[in-house]
């Protein structure tokens, strides 16, 4: 969502900073034993995505697709928390397994949104700009 609303160079800086923050949060957790930075990073998408969608007036399709992905993301965190209890209750499937299946489903929803957006954009009869070229690469 954020990368769609800022210049390409700014989006690269943003993702770089988030990756650094992710690494720092895991190192902090490992060295200090404090999960707060890691948990903050895990919870930020629940706040930032809807906030950015509101600020930048995201399309209805973007809101619907992310609205489908965010509950899946919340479910990922829930099954991760109840990992051992789910394994005991289900026998063959742990929370860890369900976590990865739900995360893949959430990512699939986001990818569907990108493909949908790019197909619509690609079918317009306007001349090719840089976004058309990115979409063309995604569709192929």
Residue 14 placed within a domain: yes
pLDDT at residue 101 in the model: 96
Tell me the C-alpha distance between 23 and 103, whole Å: 20
The number of distinct structural domains making up the chain is 2
pLDDT at residue 110 in the model: 86
pLDDT at residue 135 in the model: 47
Domain boundaries, position 9 = 1-41
Backbone φ/ψ region at 113: left (φ over 0), alpha (ψ -120 to 50), beta:
alpha
Per DSSP, the residues of 62-122 read HHHHHHHHHHHHHHHHHHHHTHHHHHHHHSS--HHHHHHHHHHHHHHHHHHHHHHHHHHHH
Residue 50 placed within a domain: no
- Cα dihedral angle (40, 55, 138, 129), rounded to 10 degrees? -140
Tens digits of pLDDT across the chain (140 residues): 555 555 667 778 888 998 999 999 999 999 999 999 988 988 888 898 888 888 888 888 888 888 889 999 999 999 999 999 999 999 999 999 999 999 999 999 988 888 877 766 555 544 444 444 444 444 43
Question: Phi and psi for 104 in degrees, rounded to 5?
Answer: -65, -40
Residue 135 placed within a domain: yes
């Amino acid at each position: 969502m954020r990368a769609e609303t800022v210049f390409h160079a700014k989006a690269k800086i943003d993702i770089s900073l988030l990756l650094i923050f992710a690494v720092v949060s895991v190192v902090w957790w490992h060295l200090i034993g404090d999960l707060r930075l890691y948990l903050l990073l895990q919870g930020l998408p629940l706040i930032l995505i809807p906030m950015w969608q509101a600020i930048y007036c995201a399309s209805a399709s973007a809101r619907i697709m992310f609205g489908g992905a965010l509950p899946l993301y919340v479910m990922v965190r829930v099954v991760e928390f109840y990992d051992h209890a789910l394994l005991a209750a289900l026998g063959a499937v742990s929370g860890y397994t369900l976590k990865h299946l739900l995360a893949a489903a959430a990512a699939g929803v986001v990818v569907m949104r990108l493909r949908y957006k790019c197909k619509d954009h690609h079918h317009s009869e306007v001349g090719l700009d840089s976004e058309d070229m990115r979409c063309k690469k995604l569709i192929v």
